[in-house]
Structure 1
Amino acid sequence: MLISELGMRRQRRAQLGTQRPVIVVPGYLGTKLKSQASGEPVWGHFGFQGVLWTAGRHLRNIAIPMKPGVSVVDLKDDLVPSGLVGGVLITYLPFLPIQLQAYIGIIHQLERLGYCGSCEVVGQANGLPSKRQMYVFEYDWRRSNELSAAMLAQFIEEKQRKISRDHQIAEQNVEFDIICHSNGCLVARYFLRYGAQPLMPTGALPSLDWRGAKGIRNLVMLAPPNGGSLEAVLNTKEGLRYFGFGYSPVVIGSFPSVYQLFPRKRHHALMGKDSQMLDPLDADFWEASQWGPFDPREDPTLSLLLPGVSSREDRLAIVKEHVQKCMSHARRFHTALDQPASPPKSLKMWLFLGKDQPTASMYKQAEDGEWTVKKELLGDGQVVATSALMDESVGGLFADVSPRSPIAWSGVMMIFAKHLDLTRNDEFVTNLSFILDDQGILQGLR
């Protein structure tokens, strides 16, 4: 009832020409991928009548090519985004489908608030459509996030020009709100800070001038892994599987973006048996521990991905070079996001995080050499609340004091929901309506 009333209020405000379009940036795995050449789906539909997760051809299709001597940003294949993953259909048998709801939830919630993804103009008032437009930014989540940020910059520029042309508004007066989830928040944060600027291979940082923030009023982040996620480390070490289907560590480890989801060393996510804190972005450690792509059991899959390489020694050398450059690039990405800077006063940054699920925060090696999750903190099951908040007191000398975040939050809302469930949570959408109406979450947070 409340959300319906908020939707009616939003439509009345839209008729006065006071509402901005919304751009939705989904998280990891949130965009379908297909072959540009053949049109064959590679991610987004699975099982008996769709993409077979474990077939060699499909493994080669989804994995990022490992090419020695080629920079991370130039590692390309012919896969292109092909729509939002509304729900992941996994089929064990032809007549037994299981639908895993993905990002269709947030689309439905925005529709309940009066947004429209399929209508260009539904009547006009003061030069603006009477329903607010909703755009979904599709991107290849496997590639480095600053490349996706550059695509987001181009995407927004195109929408600004179109709205300006269609509604006779000066381009500089066209504003948007961005709603992002999980990895999509890292893409959005980089875009706001640096626009389409690339990361320099020399280690020099791009100019932090907030060029992407022009025309953005609100950034609404759901479950962002701002401080990384141990879950990403475990998925790279062990593979990603749902109901027996999934991708091996070699495939996951080929994605440059996955390393950008790793925790920083200073946040104490990996502890050796001597209680020494380890760097998740240390390729030598991964190789010595035979983790992920270096696991001998992964060699058959590695042979599929590198069919022209005959010896395991040569294959491992290619893997090592690939992992090293991806990890080095991820460090530069982290450094770029971690640079302290105050956003423009016109930009508001809002955080919604889950804080009711025990979530892995530390992976520790026992005396016998076995690794187990040693510590859990409250979170959403994938991202701990302190990571979403980017709480720099965690793992430091002042871990018992109040949270200290370098991000200038305009408001923080804790929701009792799991990682993906946040996108369709009624409590989230109720508060979202107030944010998009420029009222803040609560009076006290304005």
Structure 2
Amino acid sequence: MRILPGLAILLLLSSCALRPDERTRVTPRREFAAERLDRRREPIILIPGTLGSRLHNAKTGEIAWGSFAASLSELEDDLDLPIAGPRLSDNRDQLEAYRVLDLAEVLQGEGKGEIRFYAEIIDTLTSTLGYRAAYGKRFYKGQDLFVFFYDWRRSNVEAAAQLGEFVAAIRRDLAEPDMKFTLLGVSNGGLIARYYLRHGGADVVSGRDVGAPLSPTRQGQADVRRLITLCTPHAGTLDAFKLIHEGYSPTPLARRHPPLTIFSMPAAFELLPDPGQRVFVDALGQPRSYDLWDADNWEKLGISVFSPGEREKLRYRILSQFNDDRDRDALFNAEMARRRRHLDLCLRHAARFKRAIAGAPEVPTSALCGATTPTLQRVALIEDGSEWDFVFEPRYTWRAGDPVVQAMLGMGDGVVTRRSALGQFLPGSAPGAMAAGEALRNAMTSVHLTSCRHREMFDDELLQLALIEELTR
């Protein structure tokens, strides 16, 4: 029997094709062995995102965030910040950050289980590329992965000032005053990094009008060679709005932090979709004109602590606490006035913060993000008599051509849209906002789209590999 030449080549190629056993696995540790032996690793500062640092009472030692008990029990020190201060920086409690949230025990099903958070990405960098992690406030020769932590409830401006102190401490302890770093900003950590690059530890936000002139010192440029952001909401995220409005529970079985808790945190407002974006649509998917950054709309629409349900809870709390002849209406009105003042402070502060970091970064910047999960990009605002309902999940997601689905959902990681992670604003946004977003996107030296989900991003192998590849360039 004759075998045609083309068929012979095909048979030869198929016989040579590798058919690995299903248990065969080429690991990143093996793949990047040569890079791991290279001692020229550039030092990294890992800046975690929201919820990514443990909080405790420094005097009593009670852990308010980052322990199994804290996810279940009412604590002496809850996560609420005071809201009565004339300045946001005055609203302090007894809690402070003391370590990154590397892993934690949470309630799962019938018992508790350990979940790895930042331990996953730290272990990836140490085992694959040979980094040596430093978690504390003192640093030693040979360490080159410095893990920053901060109180993620407070303004990112305060975190940037602490980042400057962190950099100074590393250089002092290692006796390397000219050391430069790669900033690895995870989610909100990328916003802190961008502020630090432009303004260092200076506060150019607090107490200033939103439109007041900015004079960037670009102090952080002297400390940084490049910036890598992981799933950072450069143009904001509606997940922050949802949490401010509804509250937050870390797991379905954990206790829920009410809207007032999230409302008390200035950093939550700094994560809102940037001004200039139209984020509300009607039942047909058409844009609504309500501006999220107009404080009057929060009461008009019943957002967060101004919703009918939250107002009723306040009245009940006053009624249960004060059984004397005190004027309960006066107490209610005084508390609502405090909430209005706090809202106004937070919105102006957050808008100024976003303006302070707008535009292209000052160092080479890379972005890694998720792009395969439907992610909220607009909220449906439905009128119901004298009240308004916010719809955060479209009802008919299976209708590919449904205009509401098309308006509400975009590509992303389930929390941050692809657009926002790349610095881009929603189509139809204000021209100034669009221009600033395009400047950031065009300045990015590399972009990696992955299939990661935001709250499980460190489990995504493609994101891990993209980060390793980026760090070995």
2: CA distance, partners of 1:61 / 1:262: 23
Which position in structure 2 is the counterpart of 1:372? 391
Flag the 1:289–1:422 CA change in 2: closer, same or farther, 3 A.
same
* Alignment pair present for 1:253 and 2:263: yes
* Alignment pair present for 1:422 and 2:457: yes
Whether the 8 Å contact between 2:276 and 2:430 is mirrored in structure 1 is no
The Cα shift of 1:341 comes to: 4.8
Whether the 8 Å contact between 1:83 and 1:138 is mirrored in structure 2 is yes
Q: What amino acid is aligned across from residue 350 of structure 1 in structure 2?
A: S
Structure 2 spans left out of the alignment, 5+ residues: 1-25, 393-403
Which position in structure 2 is the counterpart of 1:298? 310
Residue 50 of structure 2: SS of its match in structure 1? coil
Q: TM-score, normalised by structure 2?
A: 0.79
* Alignment pair present for 1:104 and 2:124: no
* Alignment pair present for 1:362 and 2:386: no
Q: What amino acid is aligned across from residue 471 of structure 2 in structure 1?
A: L
Residue 404 of structure 1: SS of its match in structure 2? helix
Which position in structure 2 is the counterpart of 1:442? none
The Cα shift of 1:4 comes to: 1.0
Residue 440 of structure 2: SS of its match in structure 1? coil
2:420 is aligned, of 378, 387, 396, to: 387
Whether the 8 Å contact between 1:219 and 1:349 is mirrored in structure 2 is yes
Whether the 8 Å contact between 1:23 and 1:134 is mirrored in structure 2 is yes
Flag the 1:256–1:342 CA change in 2: closer, same or farther, 3 A.
closer
2:168 is aligned, of 152, 157, 178, to: 157
1: CA distance, partners of 2:36 / 2:369: 28
1: CA distance, partners of 2:293 / 2:214: 21
Q: TM-score, normalised by structure 1?
A: 0.83
Whether the 8 Å contact between 1:353 and 1:388 is mirrored in structure 2 is yes
2: CA distance, partners of 1:148 / 1:108: 25
Structure 1 spans left out of the alignment, 5+ residues: 440-446
* Alignment pair present for 1:413 and 2:421: no
* Alignment pair present for 1:137 and 2:172: no
Residue 410 of structure 1: SS of its match in structure 2? strand
Q: What amino acid is aligned across from residue 298 of structure 1 in structure 2?
A: E
Q: What amino acid is aligned across from residue 415 of structure 2 in structure 1?
A: Q
Residue 464 of structure 2: SS of its match in structure 1? helix
Higher mean displacement: 423-432 or 287-296: 423-432
Flag the 1:435–1:271 CA change in 2: closer, same or farther, 3 A.
same
The Cα shift of 1:265 comes to: 3.8
2: CA distance, partners of 1:419 / 1:119: 23
The Cα shift of 1:7 comes to: 4.6
2:349 is aligned, of 325, 329, 354, to: 329
The Cα shift of 1:287 comes to: 1.6
2: CA distance, partners of 1:92 / 1:3: 30
RMSD: 3.0
Residue 376 of structure 2: SS of its match in structure 1? strand
The Cα shift of 1:349 comes to: 0.7
2: CA distance, partners of 1:12 / 1:259: 44
Whether the 8 Å contact between 1:192 and 1:210 is mirrored in structure 2 is yes
Residue 448 of structure 2: SS of its match in structure 1? strand
1:42 is aligned, of 35, 39, 64, to: 64
1: CA distance, partners of 2:471 / 2:376: 33
* Alignment pair present for 1:231 and 2:256: no
Whether the 8 Å contact between 2:374 and 2:411 is mirrored in structure 1 is yes
Flag the 1:137–1:206 CA change in 2: closer, same or farther, 3 A.
farther
Whether the 8 Å contact between 2:46 and 2:185 is mirrored in structure 1 is yes
2: CA distance, partners of 1:79 / 1:144: 15
Which position in structure 1 is the counterpart of 2:401? none
2:252 is aligned, of 230, 240, 243, to: 243
Q: What amino acid is aligned across from residue 365 of structure 1 in structure 2?
A: L
Which position in structure 1 is the counterpart of 2:208? 202
